Each structure stands twice: as C-alpha cells, then as structure tokens.
Amino acid sequence: MNISIHAGNIAVSRSVRKLIEKRLRFAFRRYGDHLQKIIVRLSSEGNPTDVRCQLQARIAGQGDVVIDHTDRNIHAAIYRSIERAGMTIIRRLKRQQDKIRQVPQLAIVAG
C-alpha cells in the first residue's frame, strides 16, 4: 500500500505525517492487498481554523473511494476521514466478494 500525503496551504509537522501513516496502516491492515494507493490531502478551506482532509483510496479493480471531511481540529478531520473511508472500502469489498460467491443456477433438462 503506497501512501502519499500532501499539505496544501497549511503546515503539517513530521509527527502529524507519521500519525497519518500509522493510522492508515492500522485501519487498512486487513485490506492492504486490495489497496494500491492512498492519497491524503490536507488544506484550509474558507475559515482559516477549519482543516479539510480529503482521502482518496485506490481499490484494485474497483476504482477510487474519495472521502472529504472538514473539522476545526486536524486530528479529528484525519480520524473521521479514515473512519469513513474504511466503512466505504469494507462495503465495496464485501459487494465484490458477494458477486464472486454467487453460484449460477444450473438448469436440469429432463430427457
């Protein structure tokens, strides 16, 4: 799983970057084989005290999951984005597994 962190117009310390990577690796450790890339974009939108966290996760064979969350606290924005992305990724992977597990009905022709 490749993780990329981009800080737009806000300063993000090394400790916050390490925290993001640690949380992502922990949250998605079970799905690492399915996740190709995760991009986290942090920026300040409108109100300078609000932090926007956009998380984009690329799922192999299924496209991207994009989550946006804005909060007054950078940690809350990050945690909530990761939490929401996790729920969405789990739902998508479950749907994919359900499709694979569906057994086609066989027609029996009486002779």
C-beta contacts of 57-61 below 8 A and 24+ residues apart: 57/28, 57/85, 57/89, 59/34, 59/35, 59/89, 59/92, 59/93, 60/33, 60/34, 60/35, 60/36, 61/96
Total-model pTM: 0.80
pLDDT at 75: 92
pLDDT at 26: 92
pLDDT at 17: 93
pLDDT at 47: 78
- Report which secondary-structure segment, H or E, holds 75: helix 74-101
The residue length of the chain stands at 111
pLDDT at 49: 82
Taken in order of first residue, the domains within the chain and their CATH numbers are 2-101 (3.30.160.100)
Residues of the chain under the 50 pLDDT cut: none
pLDDT at 5: 94
pLDDT at 110: 64
Report how far residue 42's alpha carbon sits from residue 65's, in angstroms, rounded to the nearest whole number.
16
